[in-house]
Amino acid sequence: MRRGLMAWNKDELPIGTLDERIARLRARMSEAGLDAFVVYTNFVRPSAVSYLTGFTPYWSDGILLVRASGDPVFATALSKRVANWIRTTSPVAEIVNAPRPGAALGARLAADSGVQRVGVLELDALPAGIHDDLVGAAPAVELIDASAQFADIRRGIDRAERDLLLRADALATAALGQVNVAKAGDAGTVAGLVEKRARLDGAEEAQIAVAADFDRDRRMIRATGAVPLADRFALRASVAYKGSWVRRSRTFARDVAGAQAVARADAWFGPVLRSIEAGKPLAAQLAAQVGSLAGAELTRWMAESCVGSYPLQVIAAATVPAGEGPADGAYLVLTVELSVDGVPWIGAAPAIVGGHSETVRATA
């Protein structure tokens, strides 16, 4: 769902930027011998279509067709009644409202004799109903998984995306800044305050997770209602602004020893983000960095990025090793869990690899 601000702003996301992204996709299509490209979307898997068109569905699903030339075509089960709304959030693409979007786009593919090989983002995960309708309407077309081609165009971020991410991060940071450690009572009230701040500032969506007793259980859940907060607790704010998602996690401690350990770890984390190097495995980089923080042991970590249809997905983690390190200029969200002098700590923040000036600052 999306319960926050959804609207296209031409200064934030110029049509020229969307045209350039489509052009890069078309270049990859040409290299791979693809005559067309199909991308599925719903509000859980919105980011690929959002990247190409600015559109995120708040409900239902749809598929985008990009051919070698001409306007992209977006077919959705959302009814014609919401066509105007779609247009307010997405300035590009022909919109086709159809109860069976797969059949609608399949018919377009079948009608174009020049289309034989069609790349599909995340083909294995394409919903069976959409797939069967597409294939039923265009049986002669060969569908090929083209997730690698799409990931290629997502390697770097352009200025528009950078600015949207910076805005999302500002919202998340300000939202977590609402927490008054001394007065924070229960998880639900605190989560509500944090979420409210993000939404009042114009977040498209805000999901707040809480570990109410961070010493006892580090897992973050949607703790709502009167769950009491212990002396040490942690919050995670996952915030979207105009289709761009960030995460920020912070640890809070009311006891002196805890507060000191948290402050040290917070101060350590910002430079860690700024120093992430391209091409080197993150596990090794982190191990070296943790070594520089006295009394720290690394518990868990993960790095997420937007490489396909998910807003954020793990690209490397302690339990999911990645081969090479991140690319220069890549966007990622780094989450690190430590034990600092026996005090549990978590931090999460976005970063752009390579120490670019645009790198967001971690909360100290």
Partner 1 sequence: MNTATLFFQRKARLIETMSAAGLDVMLVYGNAWQNDYLRYATDFGILEGQALALVRNDGHVTLYLDSLLEVDRAGVDCADVDIVHAPNLVAEVDTALNRFRNQRIGAAPYRLLPRRLAQRAKDLPLSDQTWVLDRLLMVKLESEIAAVRRASQLADDGYAVFRQAARVGRKDYELIAEVEAFYRAKGVEDNFQIIGAGGPDVRGMAPPSGKRLKPGDLVTTELTPCVDGYYAQICRTLAVGTPSAEQKATHALWREAMEAGIAVVRDGVAAADIARAENDVFRRHGLGNYVTSEYTRVRGHGLGLFVDTKPHILEDVATRIDAGMTLIVHPNTYHPVVGYLVLGDMVVVGKDGCEVLTATPRELFSVDA
Binding mask 110-149 for partner 1 (x = CB under 8 A): -------------xxxxxxxxxx-----------------
Q: How far, in Å, CA of 47 to CA of 275, rounded?
A: 27
Q: Residue 39 burial by CB count (10 A; 0-12/13-18/19+): exposed, middle or buried?
A: buried
Report the residue number, 68 or 314, with the smaller CB distance to partner 1.
314
Q: How far, in Å, CA of 198 to CA of 184, rounded?
A: 18
Q: Are strands 296-305 and 313-317 parallel, antiparallel or unpaired?
A: antiparallel
How many of the chain's residues bind partner 1 (CB under 8 A)?
Answer: 65
Report the residue number, 180 or 292, with the smaller CB distance to partner 1.
180
In whole angstroms, the minimum distance from the beta carbon of 44 to partner 1 comes to: 4
> For the residues of 193-258, what is the DSSP string, one character each?
HHHHHHHHTT-SEEEEEEESSTTT----B---SSPBP-SEEEEEEEEEETTEEEEEEEEEE-SHHH
In whole angstroms, the minimum distance from the beta carbon of 234 to partner 1 comes to: 12
- Using rule CB under 8 A, residue 79 touches partner 1: yes
Q: How far, in Å, CA of 130 to CA of 194, rounded?
A: 38
Neighbours of 125 (CB within 10 A): 14
Residues 257-276 that bind partner 1 (CB under 8 A): none
Q: How far, in Å, CA of 22 to CA of 158, rounded?
A: 13
Report the residue number, 117 or 274, with the smaller CB distance to partner 1.
117
Candidate segments 147-155, 285-293, 309-317, 353-361, binder of partner 1 by CB under 8 A: 309-317
Q: Which of 88, 287, 291, 292 binds partner 1 (CB under 8 A)?
A: 88
Structure tokens at 290: 């943790």
- Using rule CB under 8 A, residue 59 touches partner 1: yes
Q: Which residues bind partner 1 (CB under 8 A)?
A: 1-7, 42-45, 58-61, 79-82, 84-85, 88, 123-132, 186, 188-189, 191-193, 195-196, 199-200, 202, 204, 206-209, 217, 219-222, 224-226, 238, 302, 310, 312-314, 317, 319-320
